[in-house]
Amino acid sequence: MASEMPRQWLLCSLLLFGGLAQAEAPRLIIQRVPLAGFTYHTGPAIWPLLHEGDTLTLIREANNPHDSLAVRVDWRDQKLGYLPRTDNGAVARALDRGTPLQARISRLREHPDPRQRIEVEVSARLRSGP
């Protein structure tokens, strides 16, 4: 954990103080998690079309019968899956408060375990000024 601290601090510093591309708004990465439910939705059919960096849409499903904190993940209006139940609480509550969050595909890889194929990154833009 101690070895991670300098890297995290550097990333936060770059985001906060503009060390990244000027055209890009500073962002705070909230989580990176594997996509759950990939094989149960359109994931396998659209796998060849997906690319790292693709924008994803987060859709709060408060009435989901399996998980009251469910957050669906869509790619171009196609249901890919969900944020894992073990990791969706903070994002679900932020969406419930109306906090604008962004999501993207942070990693794609061929893997026999479908839960290891797509990694989703959820982030928020940092406000500028007081």
> pLDDT, tens digit, for every residue of 34-78?
999 988 877 788 999 999 999 999 999 999 999 999 999 999 999
Whether pLDDT at 6 is above 90: no
- Give the mean model confidence (pLDDT) for residues 99-122: 92
Query: In angstroms, rounded to a whole number, what is the distance separating the alpha carbons of residues 97 and 71?
Result: 14
Most confident of 4-8, 36-40, 82-86, 108-112: 82-86
The pairing of beta strand 102-108 with beta strand 78-82: unpaired
Whether pLDDT at 86 is above 60: yes
- Give the mean model confidence (pLDDT) for residues 1-8: 42
Query: In angstroms, rounded to a whole number, what is the distance separating the alpha carbons of residues 120 and 43?
Result: 13
Q: By the 8 A CB rule, do 79 and 39 touch? A: no
Taking the model in full, what pTM does it have?
0.77
Report long-range pairs for 58-61 (Cβ below 8 Å, ≥24 apart): 58/83, 58/91, 58/95, 58/101, 58/103, 58/122, 60/92, 60/95, 60/96
Mean pLDDT across the chain: 83
